[in-house]
Amino acid sequence: MASLSAFYVKLLATTIMMSFSISLVSAEAFRGTNLVVTVTLLNDEIPIIAATQSAANDWVQSHIVPFVSPQNGAIRFRYIAVGNEAIPGSTASLVAPAMRNIHQALISSGVPSDVKVTTVVSPTVLGQSFPPSAGVFENSVSDCMRDVINFLNTIGSPLLINAYPYFALASDPAHISMDYALFQAQNPIIDGPYKYFNLFDAMVDAFVAAVEKVVGYQNGVKVVVSETGWPTKGNEPYTCVDNARTYNRNLKDHVQNVGGTPRMQNYMEVYIYSMFNEDIKPDLVGQSFGAFNKDFTEIYPIWH
């Protein structure tokens, strides 16, 4: 399924940027394409990678080096994400050391310098997120996040975040409107000099503000949205095909036409989750973020 899915994506959208946790089985389908791939180092691999440089070297030699050679069509790696929402968690304090070891391994292996090391976090790392300017990392993870942010700032890499307005709406519909979550609000929420017409921008800028508080100035570490999307099933009336189509299309238009948030202007890198529905997650909502069914039939169009 992994290699077949990758091949289908290659046929469907060879010029758009997609994010994947790539496996050796599916890697060949990405050779010689315009797809840009993000590789995720699994959370349970973080302790050994953080412990020794040799383990990081071995990981890069196995997962990256074989696929960057141009001889057979190199894979275009964008990011190496050290963990997915590993902070907070039992390995949170090891994320930054693992990132440093992977970064050094990439340098030692001669991997192109535009392949950036980072990690992925969710809004659970924020102690406060509203208004966006009050964004700050939660006390229990502030030391871990400070180590991560300072390292990202040193090497010129962005922080990857998972931002889902759907979950915010579903958890607090009394205070968040559907229009605000779907990019359809007519009246903004005011936060000092900034105006927020949609929840997506507000969620991103809460991270931007938190990062600025660590770095001490603006635009030191960019924020990239590694996952966002809207489910089609599992929690009606919020989950339906119309809402998913509206969210993703309006998001696409927002990225193309605005290209930034109030606090992070002229920069917006976003990856939509997901291409396909799946049955790995335990709940119907989690299984239903795809624009395509598992049999490759289209649920709704995003890109056309």
Q: What is the widest separation between alpha-carbon atoms in the chain?
A: 57
Q: Contact at 8 Å (CB) between 86 and 46?
A: yes
* Catalytic (active site) residue 227: yes
The region, left, alpha or beta by phi > 0 then psi within -120 to 50, assigned to residue 234 is left
Give the separation between CA 109 and CA 242, rounded to whole angstroms: 47
Give the separation between CA 60 and CA 54, rounded to whole angstroms: 10
Backbone angles phi, psi at 226, to 5 degrees: -80, -20
Give the separation between CA 2 and CA 26, rounded to whole angstroms: 6
| Nearest to 262, CA basis, from 179, 204, 177 | 204
Catalytic residue among 28, 138, 212, 227: 227
Give the separation between CA 75 and CA 32, rounded to whole angstroms: 6
Catalytic residue among 28, 45, 85, 278: 85
The two tokens of residue 7 are 């091949």
Give the separation between CA 151 and CA 93, rounded to whole angstroms: 13
Residues involved in catalysis:
85, 227
